[in-house]
Amino acid sequence: MDNILERLQPIFQDVLDQPGLQVSAEDSGQTVAGWDSLAHISLVAAIEHEFKVRFALGELEELKNLGDMIALIQTKRTG
């Protein structure tokens, strides 16, 4: 999980234009400034590109926080 989280940090910093931002597995759109619905689309696209995975809309709707996203990435990369 740590490796994935480390790879997600620069994505969030870039998309949200917050160079010093540090996100954690507990973070979500409610806890990170600037993570609105438009930023979410950009984040998903950047994450899909970085990890070479594709998310279904239903999968994304079930995510509650970044930890859930990390678990989904792990599943897709090993599955």
Where are the domains positioned within the chain?
2-78
pLDDT in tens, 40-72: 999 999 999 999 999 998 999 999 999 999 999
Domain 2-78: which CATH number of 1.10.150.120, 1.20.870.10, 1.10.20.10, 1.10.1200.10: 1.10.1200.10
- pLDDT category at 1 given cuts 50, 70, 90 is low
**In the numeric block, which tokens belong to residue 21?**
């931002």
**In the numeric block, which tokens belong to residue 13?**
């910093």
- pLDDT category at 78 given cuts 50, 70, 90 is confident
DSSP tally for the chain: helices H, then strands E:
4, 0
List CB contacts of 15: < 8 A, sequence separation 6 or more: 39, 42, 43, 46
**In the numeric block, which tokens belong to residue 60?**
């994304």
This prediction has a pTM of 0.92
d(CA 22, CA 33): 11
